[in-house]
Structure 1
Amino acid sequence: MKNALTFALLLAALPAAHADTDFDACLARLRGEAASHQVSTDTFDRLTAGLAPDPTVLEALDRQPEFVTPIWDYLAALVDDERIADGKAMLGQWREVLDKVEAEYGVDPATVVAVWGVESNFGRNFGSRSLITSLATLSCEGRRQSYFRGEFFTTLQIVQAGHIAPERLTGSWAGAFGHTQFMPSTFMRVAVDFDGDGRRDLIDSVPDALASTANYLKRAGWRTGEPWGYEVRLPAGFDASVTGRKARRPLAEWVRLGVRRVDGTAIAPDDTSAALLLPAGVDGPAFMVFRNFHAIYSYNAAESYALAIAHLSDRLRGGQPFVTAWPTDDPGIGRNERRELQTLLLARGHDIGEVDGMIGSRTRQAIAAEQTRLGFDANGRAGRKILDALRAGH
């Protein structure tokens, strides 16, 4: 019996041991490629000594979203009163640097600070994973190994050049890092030394991070002094098939189709190329977007992301919320209200962990349980409806 148990334990350990062997063999192959990527053998050996794979990054790579985030939830969390107030404070604190950045790259302070706020909450959330460990793991296992190998070797180049110490290189599971979450290849392509210390450092130098972000947008086609876009109003019976980020046409054509600014004023019918976005369909807010919106979009290749950056930049300039309501009877809530909801869930005995405004799996499970109790649709959403019900003591 004892021998059988020992054999069973050995069998259970085999997959992990095999995985480690495969990883070590992969690292050996990568070592052989280092020189062709301008990474010395000494640098490779020093930075990978004792390195072990992190299987959790593979889970993140393959994980499907647990639920689809409605656009009104996405924007409510990213463009809330807290982030607007923090962003205005950052505009004041870093005004001198931001003015110099605008003079150099032509990108206005509000847009740069909006990217900073959405990407890392103004430097509060960099991500805690070792870039070298994550990218080495992704270079050896899972999908897109070729892409991640490029990012892995670029990370080693960054350290080898002395820009950032390896222990400071922490970030997301996929390798994005710093105040404005650049991938290593993006860093090497567009990051700048704006504080003049001889290093390009997006982690410990706010000036470098802000200037690098502006440089990225400039290279993506940013046009100084032009708007990203604005909210518009559609005529009755509007044909939504002509909309979409890539369906660009002259403003004169949109005017002919009956599109007006949201306050009802006419749009100048010129030949400026523009696209019409309907992120929630014809019943929700509509936006006329221009070249600068597309520059923001290139940062993260998602229209909801670009809209969050664009709207936050407007709010930092003193702009107002969207005029047209989202087509829902259960609007999204900001982080202060999410923390309030979590506090109410804790008071009802739900084990959700820390009250942090982040809606993780345990918070969603607790919300779903309360929704079931109340006879609501048990979708686990942190929305206005469940918050109001718990506030009222139902």
Structure 2
Amino acid sequence: MRQTILPILISLALTGTAAAQCGGSFSSFVSGLKAEAQAKGHSKATVDAFFRTAAQDSRTLRADRAQGVFKMPFTEFARRVISQNRMDNGRRNAERFDAVFDQAEARFGVQRGVLLALWALETDYGAVQGDFNTLNSLVTLAHDCRRPELFRPQVFAALELYEAGDFDPARTTGAWAGEIGMVQMLPEDILTKGIDGDGDGHVYLKTSAPDALLSGSNMLSGLGWRKGEPWLQEVSVPDTLNWAETGLTHRKSGRDWARMGVTPRWGEIQSGLKAALILPQGRKGPAFLAYPNFDVFFEWNQSFVYVTTAAYFATRLSGAPVFDAGAPEPGLNDAQMKQLQTRLQARGHDVGKIDGILGARTRAAVQAEQQRLGLPADAWPTAALLSKL
């Protein structure tokens, strides 16, 4: 389920080496990988054995191009993925691995609800980890010239895992983008953040829940998780709020939001913490205060709807009630969203790729145009806005 842009150690600049060594003949590309691996100090026998079964995977490329699930609005996506069965299994797993969750919180400050939510959404608590051959997916995506700077290093990280006895080139499987295990981590993440939670001398994220949960906690900690702090809180907002002050780029103290009439639906507003007021479906839909830890979810996945759902699910697993869906105005369909992005781009806004996905940059552009046109600036695109543009 995770989006293409994946967590940790992602270089934003395409290196000259990676740019020069993607595309072309696949067999020649693999030969180049093998030569580079030997230049890094790996033996020829090890390199030959590691790459022996490597093959291009067209299914990986098709999955990379098809991520329509992130075009759903928040309420629809959340209702689809947060089932009663996942809630019940979350409670059972919280009890079963109680000591592991206690250890994760003591060592890394990551609350169990957060780990349970990611575990559930990534692999349904380990039940659905993906059937893509990991090496083939990584080599295929490294060969594809869209993001070689991300995937090429993962191939060599997998080689190091292979040398440690923690990776089988022919049999290790996972998600289409190369993530492995119950919480879906890339090989480089496993190398740098993997923890042997069950004491067997290996980091097996596919079969060991203690390994997966502690490794995931370590990774979140490394991404900036703030120990013991909240991440998301559902709130009610007054109709008179200045909507232009909402969104991830506008942050105020919890005390200031309370003074503006924002009230919690669960728990207490953290008056001393900065928070953004986010409206996933505009001023008439659900509303949340997003605290600094919310940003860490974007290091895990860059889809706004996924991140908001995961963070909200974590609050549900921590005791929060079902969100108040409200009565949001109808959004745009895929064709309309692409038309909107095209018009926003024509007005000089950076919306990224014209993909029909209401991401952070498109939301910011929508809010700016709503302000310019005198509409409620809640960053939720409607047919009325599209018409005015």
Global fold match (TM > 0.5): yes
Q: Which amino acid aligns with 1:147?
A: L
TM-score by length of 2: 0.73
Give the Cα separation in 1 of the matches to 2:268 and 2:199: 47
Distance 1:151 1:266 in 2: 42
Q: How many angstroms does 1:232 deviate by?
A: 1.4
Task: Please list, as runs of the form range in 1=range in 2, the aligned pairs for 1:171-210 lying within 5 A after superposition.
Answer: 171-210=174-213
Give the superposition deviation at 1:88.
0.8
Is residue 242 from structure 1 mapped to residue 275 from structure 2 by the alignment? no
Decide whether aligned partners of structure 1 residues 192 and 168 sit closer, same or farther in structure 2, where only a CA change above 3 A counts. Answer: farther
Bigger shift: 147-156 or 122-131? 147-156
1:329 Cα deviation after fit: 8.7
User: Following TM superposition, by how much is the alpha carbon of 1:36 offset from its aligned partner in structure 2, in angstroms?
Assistant: 4.3
User: What secondary structure sits across from 1:287 in the alignment?
Assistant: strand
TM-aligned CA deviation for residue 299 of structure 1: 1.3
Change (3 A) 1:308 1:155: same
TM-superposed CA distance for 1:95, in Å, is 1.4
The question of whether the paired residues in 1 share the 8 Å contact of 2:233 and 2:315 is answered with no
Aligned to 1:123: 126
- Cα 1:186–1:326 shift into 2, 3 Å: farther
Q: CA deviation at 1:59?
A: 2.3
Q: Partner of 1:135 in structure 2?
A: 138
Change (3 A) 1:168 1:326: farther
TM-fit CA distance, 1:116: 0.6
**Structure 2 contact 232–315 (Cα < 8 Å) conserved:** no
Q: 1:240 Cα shift?
A: 2.1
| Cα 1:37/1:273, change in 2 over 3 Å | farther
Report if aligned partners of 2:60, 2:132 keep a CA contact under 8 Å in 1.
Answer: no
Distance 1:250 1:36 in 2: 52
Mind listing any 5+ residue stretches in structure 2 that lack a counterpart?
1-22, 332-389
Give the Å deviation of 1:328: 6.7
Residue 347 of structure 2: aligned partner: none
Structure 2 match to 1:316: 317
In structure 2, relative to structure 1, the CA distance for the partners of 1:60 and 1:228 (3 Å cut) is same
- Give the equivalent residue in structure 2 for 1:226: 229
Shift of the 285–38 alpha-carbon distance from structure 1 to 2, 3 Å rule, reads farther
The residue number in structure 2 matching 1:154 is 157
After TM superposition, give the deviation of residue 223 of structure 1 in Å.
Answer: 2.5
The correspondence of residues 308-347 of structure 1 with structure 2, limited to 5 A, is 308-325=309-326, 327=328
Task: Say if 2:70 and 2:305, in contact at 8 Å, map to a contact too.
Answer: no
2:107 to 98, 104, 109: 104
Task: Kindly state the Cα deviation for residue 224 of structure 1 after the two structures are TM-superposed.
Answer: 2.8
Q: In structure 2, how many angstroms separate the alpha carbons of the residues matched to 1:299 and 1:30?
A: 27
Report the secondary structure of 2:293's partner residue. helix
Shift of 1:93: 1.4
Structure 1 residue 101, shift from structure 2 partner: 2.3
The residue number in structure 1 matching 2:49 is 46
The alpha-carbon deviation at position 288 of structure 1 amounts to 0.7
Confirm or deny that 1:74 pairs with 2:77.
yes
Q: By how many angstroms is 1:89 displaced?
A: 1.1
The answer to whether the 8 Å contact 1:248/1:275 transfers is yes
In structure 2, the CA distance between the partners of 1:163 and 1:329, relative to structure 1 (3 Å rule), is same
The correspondence of residues 3-42 of structure 1 with structure 2, limited to 5 A, is: 22-37=25-40, 39-42=42-45
Q: CA deviation at 1:276?
A: 0.9
SS of structure 2 residue aligned to 1:231: strand
Count of residue pairs brought into register by the alignment:
309
Structure 2 CA distance for aligned equivalents of residues 235 and 43 of structure 1: 64
CA distance in 1, matches of 2:90, 2:69: 30
Partner in structure 2 of residue 290 of structure 1: 291
- Residues 1:251 and 2:254 aligned together: yes
Q: Which amino acid counterpart does residue 100 of structure 1 have in structure 2?
A: Q
Structure whose alpha-carbon radius of gyration is higher: 1
In the alignment, what sits opposite 1:301?
302
**Structure 1 21/266 Cα, relative in aligned 2: closer, same or farther at 3 Å?**
closer
The one-letter amino acid of 2:123's match is S
Output the CA distance in 1 between the equivalents of 2:67 and 2:310: 25
Which aligned segments of 4 or more residues in structure 1 are displaced greater than 6 angstroms?
Answer: none
What is aligned with 2:59? 56
Taking structure 1 as reference, are residues 319 and 163 closer, same or farther at Cα in structure 2, changes over 3 Å only?
same
Instruction: State the alpha-carbon separation in 2 of the partners of residues 75 and 200 from structure 1.
Output: 31
Q: Which is bigger in relative contact order (C-alpha 8 A, separation at least 6)?
A: 2
Is the alpha carbon distance of 1:329 and 1:173 closer, same or farther for their aligned partners in structure 2, counting shifts above 3 Å? Answer: same
> Using the alignment, how far apart are the partners of 1:106 and 1:63 within structure 2?
35
Counting helix residues as a fraction of each chain, which structure ranks higher? 1
Residue 53 (structure 1) shift: 1.2
1:138: how far off?
A: 1.7
Q: Identity rate of aligned residues, in percent?
A: 33
TM-score when normalising by structure 1:
0.72
Unaligned runs of 5+ in 1: 1-19, 331-394
